[in-house]
Amino acid sequence: MTFAVITFPGSNCDRDCIWALEGVLGYTVRNIFHREKSLGSVDAVVLPGGFSYGDYLRAGALAHFSPIMDAVTAFAHEGGIVLGICNGFQILCEAGLLPGALVRNRSLKFVCHEVSLRVENCATIFTSQYQEGQEIILPIAHSDGNYLTDPATLSTLEQERRVVFRYTGPKRFDALDGNPNGSVNAIAGIVNSEGNVLGMMPHPERACDPDIGRTDGLGIFLSVAQSVVRQSAVLAE
Partner 1 sequence: MMVKVIVTHKPGVLDPQGQTVLQSLRQLGYRNIRDVRIGKYIEIELDATSREDAERQAAQISDKMLANPVIETFRVELE
Q: Which residues bind partner 1 (CB under 8 A)?
A: 57-58, 61-62, 65, 93-94, 99-101, 103-108, 146, 148-150, 182
Cβ 223 to partner 1 shortest distance, Å: 28
Q: Which is nearer to partner 1, 100 or 169 (CB)?
A: 100
Q: What angle do CA 76, 86, 152 make, to 5 degrees?
A: 65
Nearest distance in Å: CB 58, partner 1 = 6
- In single-letter form, the type of residue at position 85 comes to I
How far apart are alpha carbons 201 and 143 in whole angstroms?
Answer: 10
The catalytic site residues sit at 86, 203, 205
CA dihedral over 102, 9, 24, 226, signed as positive or negative: positive
Amino acid in the structure at residue 182: G
- The β-bridge relationship of strands 111-119 and 135-142 is antiparallel
- DSSP states of 62-107 as a string? TGGGSTHHHHHHHHHHTT-EEEEETHHHHHHHHTTSSSSEEE--TT
Least Å distance, CB 66 to partner 1, is 12
Nearest CB to partner 1, comparing residues 31 and 192:
192
Q: Which is nearer to partner 1, 124 or 183 (CB)?
A: 183
Which residue's CB is nearer to partner 1, number 150 or number 158? 150
Name the residue nearer to partner 1 (CB basis): 110 or 229: 110
What's the min distance (Å) between Cβ of 137 and partner 1?
A: 27
Rounded to an integer, what is the distance from CA 94 to the centroid of its chain?
14
With left for phi above 0 and alpha for psi between -120 and 50, is residue 104 left, alpha or beta?
beta
Q: Is 178 helix (H, G, I), strand (E, B) or coil?
A: coil
Shortest Å, Cβ 101 to partner 1: 4
